[in-house]
Amino acid sequence: MTNVLKGSISDKKTDQLMKFYGLQSIDGGSVESLNYPEFDVDTGDLYKPHHRQPSPSAMAPTTTIETITITRPLKVIAFICGLIVIILMMMALTSTDWLLSLGWRQGLFVHCISINASKPLPFNIEADVGCYESRDKFYIKATAILCVITLITDAISTLLTGTGLKTTDANLKYKFYRIAVLVMMVALLSLLIALILYPVCFAMELPQGNRDVWEFGWAYGVGWGAAIFLFGAVVLLLCDKESEEIYYKERKIVHETTSIRD
């Protein structure tokens, strides 16, 4: 009797436990499957590929700064003027046509006597036909030295201007231009002194020239041409000194990242 009561009690407890866990009653020795709706998922969905969206930080735009260099035409013209001055000064220094008269040609380093020169020769020189070293006069030597200084300083300033045009560093660019202007001013001042000193001092010894007609040759005119180009180069560099040649442009770039497959 006691065993029967224990068996019925255990069967009731078993039914209660099965109902609590969602099990059906035992029928024919088989038990229905558990009912867990939260796990009711098609197994095929577990193998479907899915994509992970890139994080907002990965798609954030980045700002880049581009450097744009603009070459000013006035500075290019100043550079060309400096090159022209170099050529003109070399022509003036090597020429003997600074001062001309009948049978006489005088340069900064050499004077020449032509075959048709009449006696007495200018400045009472005793010489035959040919070219000789220039007379030992202060104004001739001073003019030659000043012209050589002009040639050297103009070459330096032209080189500095060209370097300033080529470089992209703003600080170096303005330093090159500033020094080029100062050096070119020295060249211009030296040349102007030479071109004024030469005729003024020659006029003082004109009574000893033994000629009625004197004229300045093309080489002296070339010197004035070089002075004009030098003056133009200085003005161009000074007028365009404050102009900006380097600009900075901001540009935003969005780096798009491709989807990542898990």
Long-range contacts of 130-139 (CB under 8 A, 24+ apart): 131/96, 133/109, 134/106, 134/107, 134/108, 134/109, 134/110, 135/111, 137/201, 137/205, 138/201, 139/197, 139/198, 139/200, 139/201, 139/202
The residue behind tokens 């133009």 is 232
* Neighbour count for residue 158 (Cβ, 10 Å): 24
Tokens of 103: 């049978």
Which has more pLDDT, 251 or 191?
A: 191
Q: What is the pLDDT of residues 153-177, one digit of tens each?
A: 999 999 999 999 888 887 888 899 9
Domains of the chain: 13-50 (no CATH), 72-242 (1.20.140.150)
Helix (H) or strand (E) holding 6: helix 2-20
**Mean pLDDT score, 133-159:** 95
Q: What is the mean pLDDT of the chain?
A: 78
Instruction: Determine the Cα–Cα distance for residues 5 and 34; give it in Å rounded to an integer.
Output: 29
The answer to whether the CB of 149 falls within 8 A of the CB of 190 is yes
Highest mean pLDDT among 31-35, 106-110, 113-117: 106-110
CA-atom Rg of the chain in angstroms: 50
Amino acid symbol at 141: K
**DSSP letters along 128-167, please?**
-SEEEEPP--HHHHHHHHHHHHHHHHHHHHHHHHHHHHH-
The crossing angle, in degrees rounded to 10, of helices 170-204 and 73-94 is 30
Tokens of 205: 């010894």
Per-residue confidence (pLDDT) for residue 66, from 0 to 100: 57
What's the chain's length in residues? 262
Q: Is the dihedral of CA 145, 137, 88, 188 positive or negative?
A: positive
Q: Is the pLDDT of residue 41 over 60?
A: no
Which has more pLDDT, 231 or 1?
A: 231
**Mean pLDDT score, 137-142:** 94
Q: Is the pLDDT of residue 228 over 90?
A: yes
